[in-house]
Chain A
Amino acid sequence: MASRRSTRQDAEQGVRFSRTLFIALLVISGALIAFDRPASRSAPFASFRAGFTDVSAPLLDLVAQPLRGIKNIGPYWRRQGELVEENAQLRQQLIEARYWEDLAYRQRDRIEVYEDALDVESAAIEDRIGAWTVADPRGPFVRARLIGRGSDAGIQDGYPVINLYGLVGRVYETGRRSARVLLLTDLNSRVPVMADRSNARAILVGDNSEFPRLDYVGRAPDIQAGDRIVSSGDDGILPRGLPVGEAVATREGGWRVRLYSDQAPVDFVWVWPYERVTPPDQEIEPVTPTQFPPTAVDAGANQDPDEDADEEAGEEVDRAPASGGDGNATEEAL
């Protein structure tokens, strides 16, 4: 803030600012850096950031639109001469694609039958949420994309994000109308993957380079250059089998991955709604009839959303006992 002073002082010394305010701002900056660490970001900070991106996303989307137009100018003019030949090729491919389309429909029907028989549910392709990239910060601290859809469209933290070619990253900050996607190349990205050919497991670790590293591959990993790397789904956070990239051997004897998603600029993406597989220790106890009256502890601990609704209606709900010998009753009921 400019301090009040005479015009003469102004002319001699230029504009001067309050030193107290300056020091206060330094302290605030330091405090923000200390408390807004990505590894341990508190809920108020996360929601503030999400709110801010919600506000800024429409503006950034406006800027992104002309950029998308510019992006298409070069390829459009470059391809003018090849259009006739390309058109003929595309017609041929279309004929072939009809066969594959029929086959895909038949396979889908078969899979549905199998899924019904096995009582398995997989995320349907139609459930994917399409979104445009509205900001693309490529700074030294984060590799992320801001997309123009948020919780209003059903997006939640942790959902995987894919583009036409493969896995891009996963959602880590969700606002109402925008979400931030942590890319696979970011320093904080860790994704369990496997080689499609051999099922050899590894962790894909982002290190801000274009080719993320494969860690924890073991002493003699069954990985070959060119192996297709897919998500293994081991952590239950990401679904199994999402295409990630291609294994590349490094000079040092390690492995890196050439990402499929890098084949084109990450412009339009799909967010894949995927419910994380709950570890057994975090599972809610199943509701079973019991001959024992519910205790006060049980009432707080073993509750599921359906019970909430029942309780609100004033109905008495039987609950399974928490542990110990009473667990036999649950097993029997199952």
Chain B
Amino acid sequence: MRKPTERTSPWLAATGCILSVLVALIVQASPTRLVDGLTIMPTWTLMAIFLWSGVRPQFMPPIAVFAIGLTQDLLTGAPMGVWALSYLVAISVFRFRGEDGMPRDLPPVLLRFGATLLLAHGIAFAAGSFALEQMADLQPLIIEIIASILMFPLPAYLVLRRRRSRGSGFIGG
């Protein structure tokens, strides 16, 4: 008998994963300044990577995290490798491990994400400053961190609700 976790096709879950990461990358690079007053952009990409690595870790191997980071570098015009390196290290350090993966309660997930966010942005700042040969601008990084911390509970809540109701999995999982 199949486990409840395997009820839905993994292809559907994989499609959901790819789509959500793509949307996150595009939104991250989209011209939000076109909309008056809206200049704050959370790191949607890191949220997507973090949540997928929690609920479906097999969809987020290091090579995928690296590719996503590199794509973000290219889309945003940052020196290549900066976000790739920071995501790779931060996710590998704070990735949920063990039998059950991501817990089903929100607070530990929020805490873990906060730590991931800080580490990722710290590495990005150091690597970016090295590439630019001068100190990178700290203000946008801080704004990104704050915006991400404020925005993350919503997608995390939706994912956890879905996870609780279906036993496991994510969109289509």
Q: Which residues of A contact B (CB under 8 A)?
A: 1-2, 11-15, 17-18, 21-22, 25-26, 28-34, 36-39, 45, 49, 52-53, 56, 59-60, 63-64, 67-68, 70-71, 74-75, 133-142, 144-146, 173, 180, 187-188, 208, 265-267
Contacts and interface: CB of A to CB of B under 8 A. Distances in A.
Nearest to B134: A187
B103 interface: no
Nearest to B140: A140
A18 B62 CA distance: 9
Nearest to A49: B74
Top 6 closest pairs, chain A to chain B, by CB: A32-B81, A136-B31, A137-B76, A29-B85, A208-B137, A36-B80
A64 B34 contact: yes
Given A2-B58, A135-B75, A141 B132 contact: yes
28 contacts: A1-B62, A14-B96, A17-B61, A18-B62, A21-B63, A22-B62, A25-B63, A25-B88, A29-B66, A32-B70, A32-B80, A33-B85, A36-B131, A37-B79, A53-B74, A56-B75, A71-B36, A133-B34, A135-B31, A137-B28, A137-B75, A137-B78, A140-B137, A141-B131, A141-B136, A144-B77, A267-B31, A267-B34
Contacts of A188: 132
A41 B28 CA distance: 24
Given A11-B99, A208-B137, A33 B127 contact: yes
Contact of A12 (B28, B96, B99, B136): B99
A52 B99 contact: no
Given A33-B130, A38-B131, A187-B137, A139 B26 contact: no
B39 interface: yes
A74 B97 contact: no
Given A22-B88, A29-B84, A37-B132, A140 B141 contact: yes
Interface string B8-29: 0000000000000000001111
B131 A33 contact: yes
Contact of A52 (B41, B74, B81): B74
Contact of B63 (A1, A56, A70, A134): A1
A180 to B, nearest CB: 6
A56 B74 contact: yes
A68 B34 contact: yes
Contacts of A32: 70, 79-81, 84
Interface centre among A45, A137, A145 (most CB of B within 10 A): A137
B62 A29 contact: no
Given A137-B29, A138-B39, 13 more contacts: A1-B62, A15-B58, A29-B69, A33-B82, A33-B127, A37-B133, A49-B74, A49-B80, A67-B31, A138-B140, A139-B77, A141-B136, A188-B132
A60 B76 CA distance: 11
A68 B35 CA distance: 7
Contacts of B76: 135, 137, 139, 141-142
B24 to A, nearest CB: 12
A29 B31 contact: no
Contacts of B61: 1-2, 17, 21
A174 B5 CA distance: 48
Nearest to B74: A52
A25 B66 contact: yes
Nearest to B27: A63
A306 to B, nearest CB: 38
B36 A29 contact: no
A136 B30 contact: yes
Contact of B85 (A2, A30, A135): A30
